[in-house]
Amino acid sequence: MVIDVTDQDFEEKVIKSALPVLVDLWAPWCGPCKMVAPIVEKLSNQYDGKFIFCRLDIDENPQTAAKYMVRAIPTLMFFKDGSAIDTVVGAVPERTLQTKIDELLQPGV
């Protein structure tokens, strides 16, 4: 399941998460975002209980997008232990995201 987050609850749902988090920063008018959304949804089911998947509409939540200097969408940000540790920009294949998720699930990363 992909959780919608906002500027108001970003810290609670993402930064304070005990599990690693993937945040899909998107907008309704973005074509490539619509290509990435089903991949994120599929991965959220595959990694249920191990990884948190969120999405943030940058049009409705500009503060978070500005804070993380999002210049293009889709931007997929990976958070672990409260810190942004990796970013992927653009529509990428499912395998690319799987590899990054698997890396973050390794002990000591």
> Among 70, 68, 54, which residue's Cα sits nearest to residue 21?
54
d(CA 100, CA 95): 9
d(CA 1, CA 46): 10
Can you tell me which residue has the tokens 């970013």?
87
Active site residues: 30, 33
Is 68:24 a contact under the CB 8 Å cutoff?
no
- Bond prior to 28 in cis (omega within 30° of 0): no
